[in-house]
């Protein structure tokens, strides 16, 4: 099945080869042409809703609003949809540049895939019996190869010790992971005590129970999952992720790193966007936002180019790391400003490579290292080379992919000898509209700030995966936030139902 979309070149993303060096811009189905479709404009025009940002939160909100008949405008700073989730097309091969994997435990996401005929259009990152089907572990005591089963059993044992702070693998602290901070089963003070712990604090509590390799696996898994470090990632978020995946580390691969949309996440994003446009959505891309003014039951949104748009309600999906670039009038609450100043901790590096031959079965971990984990990710187009996906945590000041792209190859070679044809990546840290990866937070953060981040700011609804109640920082969390914000807008702006009293009786 080939995608119905044509890939156009975006300003985002980079490729690197020894021959050509670093080249900016990747082709993707996510680029929208024409970049502007606005029929209504001017100071006298008031939209029922403006949605800022066309990541999954913004796309779902915009689609739901226009489907209910609301006059809606979508404003996007980039030349493409998708936000921190988009797929690039390079010489016939799809590379997921940000959010990637899907799972049946992500109910909203799979509902969208089902809605647009994509629920079975999936592929697997893992390849049974692919080339180099073993796990390379290099933890400073020398590199060696484990079977995938041995590596899985070692990781599972270590993770169970790490996560089992309540003697019940998180069930006692997070019986309802969507309501971790406010459910009737667990006193808030008990959750707050766990929130005070960083992952480093928890590692210090249990490291005497781990072998050197098991300790290295935990040390590397924390930044692999959260994009930060054991020192600055709060343990409560790790515990909550355990609860969301069914309280069992055996589910990790299937939930986090196994199934992908075959034509890429941008194919699903295009389905949602095109559906919204068909239903009447108007939009403007390459429209970064400068200010949001909330006065007299009207919200005015001004772009950096000076254009101003007015609406009764605004759904703002801008990530937490970018919020300081927006001028809010009236200002955001002191508590929210404090949360934004502390910010999140996910400054991940995600790198793809095309390598010669069959390395589809390869898995590996290096600790410490420039890259932490590597996955063989199926054949590239043509079936003669392998797509490799690798992750590091916070590499700021250590390995800058834009300044030192040649070091990416050296970091990859540590896992396995490989002939690298090209490297493909999006540097989220230098991206002005992301500034970081999907949000993970430090200790003492969630119990103090999460409710404030989720709260509205006057007639501005704040909707982002960065503060979702469920799968925070996942595609699923973005869709949760977009749907909830749209529903709130509809309840307030008004929807004329089919059988209301205002309709004449027949």
pLDDT at residue 11 tops 50: yes
Of 406, 427, 448, the last residue of a domain is 427
Assign 502 a pLDDT band (cuts: 50, 70, 90): low
Q: Pairing between strand 282-284 and 72-75?
A: parallel
Of 427, 458, 485, the last residue of a domain is 427
Considering the domain architecture, whether residues 236 and 364 belong to the same structural domain is answered as yes
Residue 317: give its domain's CATH number. Answer: 3.50.50.60
Considering the domain architecture, whether residues 245 and 147 belong to the same structural domain is answered as yes
Assign 506 a pLDDT band (cuts: 50, 70, 90): very low
Region 312-328 average pLDDT? 98
Region 312-322 average pLDDT? 98
Within a domain: 506: no
Within a domain: 92: no
Region 308-319 average pLDDT? 97
Spatial neighbors of 331 by CB under 8 A, at least 6 apart, are 337
Within a domain: 121: no
Considering the domain architecture, whether residues 470 and 419 belong to the same structural domain is answered as no
Considering the domain architecture, whether residues 233 and 302 belong to the same structural domain is answered as no
pTM for this entry? 0.96
Considering the domain architecture, whether residues 140 and 241 belong to the same structural domain is answered as yes
Q: What are phi and psi of 193, to 5 degrees?
A: -65, -40
Within a domain: 112: no
Considering the domain architecture, whether residues 360 and 243 belong to the same structural domain is answered as yes
pLDDT of residue 499: 66
CA distance 464 to 486: 12
Region 47-51 average pLDDT? 97
Q: Pairing between strand 420-425 and 14-17?
A: antiparallel
Considering the domain architecture, whether residues 143 and 278 belong to the same structural domain is answered as no
Assign 500 a pLDDT band (cuts: 50, 70, 90): low
**Domain hosting residue 321, numbered range:** 8-86+264-343+440-493
Within a domain: 120: no
Considering the domain architecture, whether residues 161 and 253 belong to the same structural domain is answered as yes
pLDDT at residue 503 tops 50: no
Within a domain: 118: no
Which is higher by pLDDT, 504 or 23?
Answer: 23
Considering the domain architecture, whether residues 336 and 471 belong to the same structural domain is answered as yes
Summarised one tens digit per residue, pLDDT across range 449-476 is 999 999 999 999 999 999 999 999 999 9
Spell out the alpha helix ranges (H) of 126-209.
Answer: 148-163, 188-195, 199-206
Region 62-90 average pLDDT? 98
Spatial neighbors of 141 by CB under 8 A, at least 6 apart, are 212, 213
CA distance 243 to 174: 6
Of 382, 399, 427, the last residue of a domain is 427
- Burial group, residue 278, by CB count within 10 angstroms (0-12, 13-18, 19+): exposed
pLDDT of residue 456: 97
Least Cα distance to 426 among 417, 438, 442, 441 occurs for 438
Considering the domain architecture, whether residues 169 and 244 belong to the same structural domain is answered as yes
CA distance 339 to 148: 41
Do the beta carbons of residue 58 and residue 317 sit within 8 Å? yes
pLDDT at residue 315 tops 90: yes
Within a domain: 171: yes
Assign 296 a pLDDT band (cuts: 50, 70, 90): confident
The total domain count for the chain is: 2
pLDDT of residue 1: 46
Summarised one tens digit per residue, pLDDT across range 147-202 is 999 999 999 999 999 999 999 999 999 999 999 998 899 999 999 999 999 999 99
Percent of the chain with pLDDT over 70: 97
- 434-459: b or e for each residue (b if 16 or more CB lie within 10 Å)? bbbbbbbbbbbbbbebbebbbeebbb
Q: What are phi and psi of 146, to 5 degrees?
A: -115, 155
Which helix (DSSP H) or strand (DSSP E) does residue 218 occupy? helix 212-226
Using the Cα atoms of residue 323, residue 326, residue 327 and residue 329 in order, give the sign of their dihedral.
Answer: negative
pLDDT of residue 467: 98
Q: What is the average pLDDT value for the chain, to the nearest integer?
A: 94
pLDDT at residue 142 tops 90: no
Radius of gyration of the chain (CA): 23
Do the beta carbons of residue 440 and residue 19 sit within 8 Å? no
Do the beta carbons of residue 359 and residue 430 sit within 8 Å? no
pLDDT of residue 234: 98
Residue 368: give its domain's CATH number. Answer: 3.90.660.10
Considering the domain architecture, whether residues 371 and 456 belong to the same structural domain is answered as no
Assign 2 a pLDDT band (cuts: 50, 70, 90): low
pLDDT at residue 333 tops 70: yes
Which is higher by pLDDT, 229 or 43?
Answer: 229
Considering the domain architecture, whether residues 237 and 268 belong to the same structural domain is answered as no
Summarised one tens digit per residue, pLDDT across range 389-427 is 999 989 998 999 999 999 999 999 999 999 999 999 999
User: How many residues are there in the chain?
Assistant: 506
Summarised one tens digit per residue, pLDDT across range 248-290 is 998 999 999 999 999 999 999 999 999 999 999 999 999 999 9
pLDDT of residue 369: 86
Within a domain: 111: no
């Amino acid at each position: 099945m080939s995608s119905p979309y044509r890939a156009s070149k975006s300003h985002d993303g980079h490729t690197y080869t020894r021959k050509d060096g670093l080249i900016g811009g990747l082709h993707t189905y996510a680029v929208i042409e024409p970049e502007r479709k606005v029929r209504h404009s001017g100071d006298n025009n008031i939209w029922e809703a403006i949605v800022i940002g066309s990541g999954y939160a913004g796309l779902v909100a915009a689609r739901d609003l226009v489907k209910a008949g609301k006059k809606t405008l979508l404003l996007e700073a980039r030349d493409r949809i998708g936000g921190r989730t988009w797929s690039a097309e390079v010489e016939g091969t799809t590379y997921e540049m940000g959010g990637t994997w899907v799972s049946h435990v992500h109910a909203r996401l799979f509902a969208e895939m089902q809605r647009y005929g994509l629920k079975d259009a999936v592929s697997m990152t893992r390849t049974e019996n692919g080339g180099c089907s073993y796990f390379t572990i290099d933890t400073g005591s020398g590199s060696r190869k484990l079977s995938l089963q041995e590596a899985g059993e070692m990781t599972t044992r270590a993770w169970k010790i790490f996560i089992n702070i309540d003697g019940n693998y998180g069930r006692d602290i997070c019986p309802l992971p969507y309501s971790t901070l406010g459910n009737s089963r667990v006193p808030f003070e008990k959750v707050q005590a766990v929130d005070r712990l960083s992952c480093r604090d928890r590692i210090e509590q249990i490291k005497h129970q781990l072998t050197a390799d098991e300790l290295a696996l935990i040390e590397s898994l924390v930044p692999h999952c959260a994009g930060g470090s054991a020192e600055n990632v709060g343990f409560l978020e790790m515990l909550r992720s355990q609860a969301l995946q069914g309280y069992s580390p055996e589910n990790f691969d299937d939930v986090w790193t196994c199934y992908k949309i075959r034509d890429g996440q941008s194919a699903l994003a295009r389905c949602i966007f095109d559906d919204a446009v068909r239903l009447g959505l108007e939009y403007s891309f390459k429209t970064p936002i400068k200010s949001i003014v909330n006065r007299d039951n009207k919200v005015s949104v001004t772009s950096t180019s000076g254009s101003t748009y007015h609406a009764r309600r605004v759904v703002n999906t801008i990530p937490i790391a970018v919020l300081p670039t927006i001028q809010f009038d009236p200002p955001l609450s002191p508590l929210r400003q404090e949360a934004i100043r502390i910010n999140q901790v996910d400054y991940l590096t995600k790198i793809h490579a095309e390598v010669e031959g069959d390395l589809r079965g390869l898995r590996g971990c290096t600790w410490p290292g420039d890259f932490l984990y590597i996955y063989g990710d199926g054949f590239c187009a043509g079936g003669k080379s392998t797509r490799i996906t690798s992750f590091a945590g916070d590499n700021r000041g250590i390995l800058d992919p834009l300044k030192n792209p040649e070091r990416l190859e050296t970091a990859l070679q540590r896992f396995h000898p490989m002939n690298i044809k090209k490297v493909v990546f999006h540097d989220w840290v230098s991206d002005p509209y992301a500034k970081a990866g999907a949000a993970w937070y430090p200790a003492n953060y969630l119990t103090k700030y999460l409710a404030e981040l989720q709260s509205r700011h006057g007639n501005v609804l704040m909707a982002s995966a960065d503060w979702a109640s469920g799968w925070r920082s996942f595609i699923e969390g973005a869709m949760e936030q977009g749907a909830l914000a749209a529903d709130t807008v509809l309840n307030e702006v008004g929807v004329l139902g089919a059988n209301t009293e205002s309709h004449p009786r027949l």
